[in-house]
Amino acid sequence: MKLVVQEFLTLDGVSQGPGAPDEDTSDGFTRGGWFVPHLDEEFERQAGEWLGEADAFLFGRRTYENFARDWPRMTDHPFSGILNGLPKYVASNTLTEAAWDPTTILSGDVPARVAELKRRPGRDLQIHGSARLAQSLLAAGLVDELRLAIAPVVVGEGRRLFPDGGAPAGLRLLSHRTTPAGVSVHIFTATGPPDFATYGGGA
């Protein structure tokens, strides 16, 4: 399977709590719900197409618990059949049971467990949210593709997908588009370590 990271981001790189003020208030975060004002039909259609490419989902513990709390109750949502029905994996050394079936807990050497999942046949193994997990797997060279939906907003605080001190990574832009509501959608493939150079200037 191909490991795909899908993230909603602010312009200042925050990925925490895009869907509601109370979605993720950890570390005192109070500015959740910043993505919702910028949703439109075009992005909903794009998100549905991405979900249609998934064969399984991979979450960190915190995102998993948020999804497991909300999605089983959202039976009338067009995405609920995919999210509730497909296999789910949660990376955690503290979670002992998972009530959102079908779920498998990945503990211990998570990068090795994910590498084993990637060797299985299939399409996308998708990470939604789970910024810290995405960071660690990008640093381990396991991420194949990033799909970043950037909302035209700056929130000034919260967990970032690419924090200071994170591992460097080279990316190649595959496509980009902007929705009518102003969400900038960028799709990248991971290329390994980044290149660095010195600007020579012009004559």
3-28 pLDDT, tens digit each: 999 999 999 999 999 999 999 999 99
The CATH code of the domain that includes 40 is 3.40.430.10
In this structure, the chain runs to a length of: 203
**Tally of domains in the chain:** 1
Domain presence at residue 7: no
Domain presence at residue 124: yes
Give the pLDDT of residue 203.
55
Domain presence at residue 105: yes
Q: Which residues contact 157 (CB under 8 A, 6 or more apart)?
A: 14, 29, 31
Q: For tokens 């390994």, name the residue.
A: 192
Is 116 strand, coil or helix?
A: helix
pLDDT tens by residue, 145-190: 999 999 999 999 999 999 998 889 999 999 999 999 999 999 999 9
β-bridge partners, 9: 150
Domain presence at residue 8: no
Q: What is the pTM of this model?
A: 0.92
CA 149, CA 176: separation in Å to the nearest integer? 10
Question: Average pLDDT, whole number, for the chain?
Answer: 95
Residue 126 pLDDT more than 70? yes
Q: Tell me the residue range of the domain where 68 lies.
A: 18-144+175-182
Spatial contact of 16 and 129, defined as CB atoms under 8 Å apart: no
Domain presence at residue 154: no
- Strand duo 184-192 + 170-178: pairing: antiparallel
Domain presence at residue 139: yes
pLDDT tens by residue, 92-119: 999 999 989 999 999 999 999 999 999 9
Domain presence at residue 25: yes
Domain presence at residue 41: yes
pLDDT tens by residue, 44-93: 999 999 999 999 999 999 999 999 999 999 888 999 999 999 999 999 99
